[in-house]
């Protein structure tokens, strides 16, 4: 439950901005998870410290869980050392992003969206917004190999998009072993439904809601999207909390969509076959959670018109999930008549698109391509997007970015 102290900040915003911010936060249904904190600033500071400690404990647990399932061998010792170097080189950027994540009055953390453990989301509101017009909304699902996924991984993208007058929600969800793939998809579907149902209360435009995911998050979001489209055909649509065709577009970044083709690859990368199959609820369940195979099945044909336009993004130097995964999914979608675009980035790794490129400052390709879809047909917004991106400052020296690219273990 987020407690937000804004008494001091209200004196430093324009009257129009104050009106918009109050409309957004006070519009959330009474008794909901997001509320104004009427305590003093010291109480707010205490809450932030407690929240930071809780989040640090959770991240430590995730890391230890991952190590427990991967085992301790020479391969993983070397990968761990590379990860330490990689994190060290990007540390100047991480510190700046985390500082803003914890102190910004426009970021509201850990809003409850469901009844299950870790059903929380982070809300990123556009800063310095002087108009009351409804804003586009991006629902982002972070990755983490289905084991160490965490909503905080989307902090950099959330902050970036918010600078372009876009509301961003980053969903957290149960990871293995707390839950298996069906639990993860269910959590994400619940989170999407929560955002869609509260979209106007959040100041968002219900006609401009976008779904996005990265890596395992792209896979899980695709599963939720495809399964929801099927429900709209075979179940009572009036009972659904959201509808796939109401989404404006889906952005899938560096994901894998055919699980049977990924088992051996992940095993060679260190995620053992036995663990992967436990995450995915057994070998017989792999086709049931493979969006590429689902859209090709005869039973899905009636659901194809319910899909929004889909954009697949992938780096050609991605070793964690090869870019052929996005190409194959794009071909499958195209073969059944879905609206799809596949964009490949030459020489980009699994993390370049979301970390190294944004930390370089200026215009980065992925953000530009996402904004081009969100602001399609709005030439004024596109021109402003370009100017905002050009002004973005560098977070990490170039030499550190190059070194991080070389040692990246992903």
- Return the active site residues: 215, 318, 350
Taking the alpha carbons at both ends of the chain, their separation in whole angstroms is: 33
The CA-based angle 122-127-133, given to 5 degrees, is: 95
Largest CA distance in the chain: 60
Tokens of 18: 């104050």
The DSSP result for 169-203, as a single string, is EEE----TTT--HHHHHHHHHHHHHHHHHTTTTTT
Backbone angles phi, psi at 350, to 5 degrees: -65, -30
Report the interhelical angle of 74-103 vs 155-162 (nearest 10°): 40
At residue 251's C-alpha, the angle toward residues 286 and 189, to 5°, is: 55
Write phi, then psi, for 93 (nearest 5 degrees): -75, -40
Q: Which of 239, 225, 349, 335 is nearest to 291 (CA)?
A: 225
DSSP β-bridge partners for residue 108 = 123
What is the DSSP secondary-structure string of 362-399?
Answer: S--HHHHHHHHHHTTT-HHHHHHHHHHHHHPPPSS-HH
Burial class (CB in 10 A: 0-12, 13-18, 19+), 89: buried
Q: Is 1 exposed, middle or buried (0-12, 13-18, 19+ CB in 10 A)?
A: exposed
For residue 387, what are its two tokens? 């100017």
Phi-psi region of 378 (alpha: psi -120 to 50; beta: other; left: phi over 0): beta
The closest of 305, 123, 311, 99 to 211, measured between CA atoms, is 311
DSSP 13: S
Distance, CA of 378 to chain centre = 24
Instruction: Reduce the DSSP state of residue 123 to 3 states and report it.
Output: strand
């Amino acid at each position: 439950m987020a407690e937000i102290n804004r008494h001091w900040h209200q004196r430093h915003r324009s009257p129009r901005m104050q009106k918009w911010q109050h409309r957004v936060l006070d519009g959330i249904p009474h008794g909901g998870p997001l509320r104004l904190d009427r305590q003093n600033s010291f109480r707010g500071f205490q809450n932030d410290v407690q929240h930071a400690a809780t989040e640090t404990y959770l991240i430590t647990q995730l890391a230890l869980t991952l190590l427990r399932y991967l085992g301790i061998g020479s391969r993983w010792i070397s990968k761990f050392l590379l990860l330490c170097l990689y994190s060290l080189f990007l540390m100047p950027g991480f510190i700046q992003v985390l500082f803003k994540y914890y102190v910004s009055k426009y970021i509201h953390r850990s809003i409850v969206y469901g009844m299950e453990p870790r059903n929380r989301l982070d809300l990123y509101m556009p800063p310095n917004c002087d108009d009351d017009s409804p804003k586009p909304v991006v629902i982002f699902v972070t990755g983490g190999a289905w084991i160490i996924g965490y909503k905080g991984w989307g902090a950099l993208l959330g902050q970036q998009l918010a600078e372009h007058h876009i509301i961003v929600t980053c969903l957290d969800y149960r990871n293995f072993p707390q839950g298996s793939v069906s639990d993860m998809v269910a959590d994400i579907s619940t989170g999407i439904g929560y955002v869609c149902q509260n979209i106007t209360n959040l100041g968002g435009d219900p006609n401009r809601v976008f779904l996005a995911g990265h890596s395992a998050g792209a896979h899980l979001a695709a599963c939720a999207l495809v399964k929801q489209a099927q429900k709209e055909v075979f179940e009572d649509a009036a009972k659904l909390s959201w509808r796939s065709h109401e989404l404006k577009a889906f952005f899938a970044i560096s994901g894998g969509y055919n699980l049977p083709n990924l088992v051996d690859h992940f095993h060679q990368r260190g995620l053992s076959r036995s663990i992967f199959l436990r995450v995915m609820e057994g070998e017989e369940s792999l086709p049931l959670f493979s969006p590429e195979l689902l859209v090709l099945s005869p039973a899905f044909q009636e659901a194809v018109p319910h899909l929004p336009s889909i954009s697949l993004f992938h780096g050609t130097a991605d070793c964690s999930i090869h870019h052929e995964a996005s190409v194959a999914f794009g071909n499958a979608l195209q073969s059944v008549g879905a609206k799809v675009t596949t964009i490949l980035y030459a020489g980009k790794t699994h993390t370049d698109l979301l970390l190294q490129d944004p930390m370089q400052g200026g215009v980065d390709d992925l953000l530009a391509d996402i904004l081009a879809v969100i602001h399609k047909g709005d030439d004024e917004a596109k021109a402003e997007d370009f100017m905002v991106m050009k002004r973005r400052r560098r977070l990490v020296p170039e030499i550190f970015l190059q070194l991080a690219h070389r040692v990246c273990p992903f």
